Structure 1
Amino acid sequence: MIVSGIDIVVQKSKRKTVSIFIERDGSVSARVPEKLSDEEIKEILKAKEYQIFKNLAEWTQLNENVVEREYVNGQSFLYLGRNYRLKLVEDKLKGVQFIRNTFLLNKADKHKAKELFVKFYKDKLSNKIQPIVERYKGQLGVEPNDIKVMELQNRWASCTPRGNVNFHWKCAMAPIDVLHYIVVHELAHLIHINHSSAFWNEVDKILPNYEDQVNWLKINGVGMDL
Structure 2
Amino acid sequence: MMIYTAREYKPNECVDLGAAVGTWLGANNMILTGRDGKPVSRLLRRAMTVGLAGSGVTVLDMRLVPSMVVRAEIKKHGMGAGIYVRYSVQNGVEILLYDKNGEPAKEDAVNKINSILKRREFHRVSIEELGTILYYPNGIEDFVKMTTGQISYNKKLNIYVDAQDDPVAMLVPPLFEKYGFKYTLFNELVAGYNIPKPKEDFISNLRKGKYDYGIRFLDENIELYDGNGNMVEKFNKVVSLLEYLRGK
TM over 0.5: no
Using structure 2 for the length normalisation, give the TM-score. Answer: 0.24
Higher helix share: 1
